[in-house]
Structure formats: C-alpha cells, structure tokens
Amino acid sequence: MSVLSRLSRWWKGLTATAGPRHDPEATDEFATLSSLTLLPGRLRLRVGVVSVRGNYREHNEDNFYVPGKRSVRHDSFGDIGGGGFGEGEGGAMTLDPSNLFIVADGMGGQQAGEQASLMAVELIPRELAKRLPPDQSEPRRVQEAIREAVAEVNQEILGSSGTITEFSNMGTTVVLAQFRPDKVYVAGIGDSRAYRLREGRLEQLTKDHSLADALVEAGTITREELPTHKFKNVLYLYLGSKDARSGPEDFRVMDVHVGDRFLMASDGLTGVVTDDDIAKILGSVDDPHQAAVQLKNLALDNDSKDNITCLIVHVVSDGLPAGKS
C-alpha cells in the first residue's frame, strides 16, 4: 500500500472517531489523573495537563499524550474532564503500564502544524510499544527503542508532507518522558522542554534546537542576548525534518525518587515564564492539575503569543501526595 493510501486511511479513521470539536473560542483544561504504576516501592504518578489556544492564535497546534487514553487532538480530549473528574479532584484512574508522556508543538500553514503534532502523539506510542524491551534493566535498549520510534514517526511526517498539499512543510517539536520501573528516560526534538524539580532545585532536562541556541553554543552570541535574538524561534531540528531522521540526539536517564516533579511544556509557556516562577509553582502546589493551571495563567498574564501546553507529573508514594519539594 502506498504512503498516500496508508495516510488517507489513517486520517479517515481519526476524523471518523475523534468526536465533536469544541467551540474554537473555548480553552481546554483537563483534570488531574492519578496513576497506579509499576515503579518500585509502590510509587505512583499523578498527572495534570492543560492545553489552550491562548490569546493570539486562531488554532491550537499543540497536542499531548497521556497513557491509557486514546491520543486524539486536544479539542476532543475533554472526556478526561468528565465522568466525575472535576478540576483539581484528582480522581483515581488506572492508566496503562507504558507510563509514556508526550507534548508536541506543531508548525506549518493552515492545519499542517496541528496535523504534525497529532501524528507525533498518535504514532510515537504505537511505534515505541513495538520496540520496548521486556527486560526492564537494559537502559541502552530502551534508549534505542525511543530513538527508533521517533525516527520512524519523523519519516511518516516527512512522507505526509511530501504527498499531501495541505500538509506541505509541516513539522512539530516533541518532548517525551518514558517512565520505567527504576528510571525515567527524557528526550526532545525542537524547543518544547522538560524540567525536573527535586528538593527545591529546578533542572532543565532538554536543550532547545533553535538557531539562536546554536549561536550561543558556538560562542557567536552571549546567553544574555538569547531571549531577544531574531533566531530564537527558528528551529534547525524538529520532527518532520531530514536532520531528525536518526531520532533524538540527547537522552537524560535518571533514577526516580518520591517527591520528584516533572514538567513538560511547549514554548508558549517556557518562552515567557521564568525558571524561578516555574520552580515556585511546581514546588508549592501539590495538585499537578492546579499547578498546570497556575503556570498556564501566568503565561497568559505574561502575554504569551503562542499556544500553551503544560503537562506535570508528580512521583508520589502509594498514591499519597508527596511533601512539598
């Protein structure tokens, strides 16, 4: 079957099952989830996520994935907010054991960016599930599985971009966190970021693949010039580019501790909210959904001109909230 035929069948399947679209003027917030996981010592993950169009964009080209829920486009993902899961309630829900979380920020004209980020959150979990080793103790094999899965999806996006006029030149950033029983694997392509807060210390786990960041690394400009540089939002690496054909360049592989708090976000948030404010809210708000809402509101107050997606994961003990980090 040709690439075009496969994509056409896949796209028809999505549009047939995605459900009604929300009012385009509305913003979407999703309630906290509580997840029973396979982490050691009966650790659990609690998850909160918010994705909004923002004040300036006509469409939300961000998409995200949390396990156990079909990863549909953001504006038909509202079933998480129903069924008794009100904002901030943190109702219990068993998620699948993949413990994979993704944020993707699409780019391209018309609906191309939205399509690229949707493909990322739909296809990466599927491709990764095919490749993850059953042996939980081989970090190198897990990294290779992630790299191969993302590389495969990069080729899918490139193929779609080259065969369907409406999707030409589309691309997306992607940042993911794969939790395994003893570790978490974090990787990113583009400028969506992942952070970890541990014992009050905030650490950025991914690097931005923008031309301005490359100039900083080369010593051509200073880090102080970076926030306002004209190439700050020009990416040299993203999903849907030939340079991403080998998947993520860098991985962070870390042990998981009770009290760890992880943030994954598009640059609509991280471009306007300081690390100090991120650390303050992550450390002081014990409900991950409420923390995501507060960070989103701060980004809007700081005049973010992009879509905003914020996904927060708390590592807790036996389903009970961890103490403040």
CA distance 122 to 7: 13
Q: For residue 173, what are its two tokens? A: 């950033």
pLDDT (tens digit per residue) in 117-152: 999 999 999 999 999 988 766 889 999 999 999 999
Neighbours of 245 (CB within 10 A): 11
CA distance 45 to 51: 20
Q: Is 245 helix (H, G, I), strand (E, B) or coil?
A: coil
Q: Is residue 323 part of a domain?
A: no
Lowest mean pLDDT across 12-16, 37-41, 188-192, 319-323? 12-16
pLDDT (tens digit per residue) in 226-272: 777 877 778 889 999 899 999 998 899 999 999 999 999 999 999 99
pLDDT (tens digit per residue) in 55-89: 998 889 999 999 865 444 443 333 232 222 223 33
Mean pLDDT for the stretch of residues 304-324: 80
* 260: CATH: 3.60.40.10
* Domain limits for position 306: 30-317
pLDDT for res 321: 54
Mean pLDDT estimate for the chain? 79
More confident residue, 14 or 312: 312
Tell me which amino acid residue 170 is: M
More confident residue, 36 or 203: 203
Q: Is residue 24 part of a domain?
A: no
Mean pLDDT for the stretch of residues 286-296: 96
* Structural domains of the chain, count: 1
pLDDT (tens digit per residue) in 29-52: 544 454 444 455 567 899 999 999
Q: Is residue 219 part of a domain?
A: yes
Q: Is residue 10 part of a domain?
A: no
Q: Is residue 2 part of a domain?
A: no
Q: Is residue 88 part of a domain?
A: yes
* Cβ 121 vs Cβ 64: under 8 Å: yes
CA distance 79 to 22: 12
Rg (C-alpha) for the chain, rounded Å, is 18
Q: Is residue 170 part of a domain?
A: yes
Q: Is residue 324 part of a domain?
A: no
pLDDT for res 137: 65
Mean pLDDT for the stretch of residues 285-313: 96
